[in-house]
Chains A and B, each alone.
Chain A
Amino acid sequence: MNDSTETLQQAPDIKQKETDNPDKTDFRQDYISFRNYNFFYGPTQVLFDVNLDIPERQVTALIGPSGCGKSTLLRNINRMNDLVDGIRHEGELLIDGTSAYDPTVEVISLRKRIGMVFQKSNPFAKSIYENVVYGLRVAGRKKKSSLDEAVETSLRRAALWDEVKDRLGESAFGLSGGQMQRLCIARAIANNPEIILMDEPCSALDPVATGKIEDLIHDLKKEYTIVIVTHNMQQAARVSDQTAFFYLGKLIEYDETEKIFMNPAQKQTEDYVRGRFG
């Protein structure tokens, strides 16, 4: 535990990766910040004293074996766990400096600022168009022109526009698995969020579709802070700037992705990324 806090305190090294964001230092380094965070499902504690700062406009990957609490952590960021009965948390979760559990923060407006993409693509039983504008419609936006515009921008950003522009009125269920997942990404970014959470977005996709999504993540991080949970080591190595390794609800190590994969400080991390357990 001490080690993890130690790694946190290390100033992030800027030169390590190709510079997608040249002025990276201008962005907040603790955009999403967990402080001594504990989380319980009823009597079971799933997160133990997590301290984690996720920087703005970078991709942060959460890795670790199943049941290590990485998904729970992710779902805490947009308070998706509120749906579950008997949850409890201790410690603080700050998003852009404000506590997510602050009584003045309304969970709905919080979620509007945080898009989420799920493991299994979950398009709604509506047309492609209606899927993309869903978030805007529930927010009360009605003007046709602004909705049309949002559909085109979001689908373009999700690299889906060229494939579906002629059939926006058709059911979203007619798309392929990869297209559906990109549609879900488009739906998430249509709200113009600040953060995009991705919970194993490629685990149900074939390699080609996975490649497309990964390219997309690369593009998206120019504008969004992305947190991604993944089981796929190569994917974490390919797409993320920072990587956090969780084990049994504890944050074991958090550092530059390169460091985690090439030269981890912890034995457990090394065993995991080398595929020796998990």
Chain B
Amino acid sequence: MENNASNKTRKSLAPKGEVWVWFTSLGLVLGLAMVLFLFGLILLRGFNFFWPVPVVQLELKEDSEAVFRGNTSFAGVIASTQERSLQEIAVEEEILLEEEEEVEADGILGQALQTISEYRVFVGSRDRYGQSFRYFRHNDILERSFPEDIIRAERRVEGDAFFFPQRIQFQDGSEVTREDANFEDELDRVVKEGRARRSQINRIDRREIGPINLEIRELTMDLRFLNRIERTEGDLSEAQEAQRERLTERIAQLNEQFELLRDKADELRETNQSIRVFYEYADGTSGQIAIGDLFRFYYPNRLGFFQRIQVAGIQFWEFVSGYPREANMSGGIFPAIFGTFVMTLIMSIAVTPFGVITAIYLREYAVQGPLVRAVRIAINNLAGVPSIVFGVFGLGFFVYIMGGTIDSLFFSQAQELGTPTFGTGGILWAGLTLALLNLPVVIVATEESISAVPRGVREGSLACGASKWQTIQRLVIPASLPGILTGMILAMARGAGEVAPLMLVGVVALAPNLPVDGTFPFVHLERKFMHLGFHIYDVGFQSPDSEAAIPTVFATTLILIALIVVLNLSAILLRNHIRKKHKGSAF
């Protein structure tokens, strides 16, 4: 009887498909949850990177293992609290001791179930402590405090540091100490002035010395070429002699300019080095830093909520607009953002017309038969080829064959001297490689949208006396533009995030120059470039202090995702605009 009843309920549910509704929706919910989790994590940890957190000062017991050179005071930011069992620690120590004293380890094993909690604290000052993070057991901590006067300083080298500023020493030897009323204002002022001087130095280096250097390099190359001719042929023609003279003269002239500018920059640098800030660490040890090395500072324990937002905003802007320092460990990621953007642009410009033309031929002109079917299958399969394969192809075809040919045709001088121009990885080749990678995506999307153009429209056009090409050009392409853009959006999303093939065709961890800048001819397609995806890999997994790099990795990931979202969003808005224009209301 009971069995019957349950049968009945099952029957009443089955025809409506209720069970499957739950089952299928479960799949969706699971997927959504994972995506939301991923985005949430990246958002949270990415933004955390910029958020100024209070700095805690810890007093340790004298006998604590964490005591550093007899100092018991540390200041830093608590990164996390974690529990570890003694066994784990024992195992770690055992490895450290190389199993010297097994007996003792056995003794510790007896307490295996005991756990201890400890803080993981970002203490900064890599130059002093060796690594950025230190561990402090809760049991060892005597006192915790949040000192008002401590500052968090962003330094040129060795990462951030936490300290109490004591006095400022100016060029002329005069000093302002913390007892003086205007100490904090003065500190603020000198740091700001130092920053201004540094940006002036940068301007001289990049904008003024850069082009001079470039010209000198080119002229030197010409000179070397002439010298080589002299060596091999024994003699130079008169015209060549005259040219050599001209070159030498010009180089000397440029060198003069260069030295002038360099002196100016050196003077500024010297000023920045001669003003120094003396400070004390939390444990009372003193130290000093030149104003040129102190980029920015704030009082983390004095900030109100809105000031925190302000500091976070400044840090965000610095990160997004700044250039990387210290092997990408600190500083900004602007070159990587810019490189990713330009490369994606090159890719889109290359892939869209190519894919659209191919799709038009396949759909409109090719005789539909086994051959076209085979081609179509091949295209679909191309989308599944691992991207590194495209990277290898790009290296072989674009870089070596095409780049090599361009070099031997137009840059033979440089090539002979062993400095290839296009014959080495560059942003153009990277863009083209990714274009190839995404070609199937664009072809498939375009073909679909072309075949969705109603037959009536084509017939109407032909009946008006239009040729096939006129019909395609005037009606079919405009009508399938939204579909083409969809393909482009997919291609951009994939292309901007792709890293593996790029490593072979032009991405570098640190590029000295941007692919687009103020030096003629402004767009330098042959230059190597930085890419956010590769930057993540480099910072996160190739840097000397990868633990300290974790927040940077999250922040960079956040920016990469934001960039892709922005690119896609603009393409989607464009698509919607076109859709509105081309699809009327009714029908």
Contact = CB atoms under 8 A, between A and B. Distances in A.
Contact of B467 (A80, A118, A138, A191): A138
Contacts of B585: 171, 173-174
Given A118-B456, A125-B479, A188 B463 contact: yes
Given A124-B475, A171-B584, A173-B585, A135 B465 contact: yes
A131 to B, nearest CB: 9
Contacts of A85: 367-368
A57 interface: no
A78 B587 contact: no
Interface in B450-499: 454, 456-467, 470, 474-475, 478-479
B214 to A, nearest CB: 49
A118 B459 contact: yes
A122 B478 contact: no
B586 A191 contact: no
B466 A125 contact: no
Contacts of A114: 463
A80 B474 CA distance: 19
A235 to B, nearest CB: 21
A125 B475 contact: yes
Interface stretch (A37-45, A88-96, A104-112, A268-276): A104-112
A134 B459 contact: no
B460 A111 contact: no
A139 interface: yes
Contact of B463 (A80, A125, A139): A80
Contacts of B250: none
Contacts of B461: 124, 134, 138
A125 B582 contact: yes
Contact of B464 (A109, A125, A188): A188
Contact of B584 (A109, A174, A191): A174
A184 interface: yes
Q: Residue among A125, A139, A180 with the most chain B CB within 10 A?
A: A125
B459 to A, nearest CB: 6
A187 B464 contact: yes
B583 interface: yes
Contacts of A83: 458-459, 462
Nearest to B586: A173
Given A111-B465, A187-B464, A138 B587 contact: no
Contacts of A118: 456, 459-460, 463
Given A118-B456, A174-B585, A111 B463 contact: yes
Interface string B357-381: 0000000000110000000000000
A172 interface: yes
A236 interface: no
A137 B587 CA distance: 25
A188 B463 CA distance: 8
Given A134-B464, A171-B584, A125 B459 contact: no
A82 B341 CA distance: 47
B456 A122 contact: yes
A115 interface: yes
Given A173-B583, A173-B585, A122 B465 contact: no
A212 interface: no
Which size class do B's interface residues fall under?
A: 20 to 34
Given A111-B465, A135-B465, A122 B584 contact: no
A187 B457 CA distance: 13
B478 A125 contact: yes
Contacts of A112: 464-465
Interface in B571-587: 582-587
B463 A173 contact: no
Contacts of B367: 85
Given A80-B459, A171-B584, A122 B454 contact: yes
Contacts of B582: 125
A78 B585 CA distance: 31
Nearest to A82: B462
B460 A139 contact: no
B466 A134 contact: yes
Contacts of A191: 464-465
Contacts of B586: 173-174
Contacts of A171: 584-585
A162 B249 CA distance: 81
B35 to A, nearest CB: 36
Contacts of B467: 108, 138
A116 interface: yes
Contacts of B459: 80, 83, 116, 118, 122
A120 interface: yes
Q: Residue among B458, B465, B585 with the most chain A CB within 10 A?
A: B465
Nearest to B454: A122
Contact of B465 (A123, A124, A139, A184): A139
A173 B474 contact: no
Contact of A172 (B474, B479, B584): B584
Q: Residue among B463, B475, B583 with the most chain A CB within 10 A?
A: B463
B106 to A, nearest CB: 83
A180 B460 CA distance: 13
Interface string A53-83: 0000000000000000000000000101001
Nearest to B453: A125
B475 A116 contact: no
B478 A116 contact: no
A78 B474 CA distance: 21
Given A108-B467, A135-B465, 13 more contacts: A108-B465, A109-B465, A114-B463, A116-B463, A125-B475, A125-B583, A125-B584, A134-B466, A135-B464, A137-B474, A138-B464, A171-B584, A173-B587
Interface of A: 78, 80, 83, 85, 108-109, 111-112, 114-116, 118, 120, 122-125, 134-135, 137-139, 171-174, 180, 184, 187-188, 191
12 contacts: A108-B467, A112-B465, A116-B459, A118-B456, A122-B459, A124-B457, A125-B479, A125-B583, A138-B464, A138-B474, A171-B585, A173-B583
Interface of B: 367-368, 454, 456-467, 470, 474-475, 478-479, 582-587
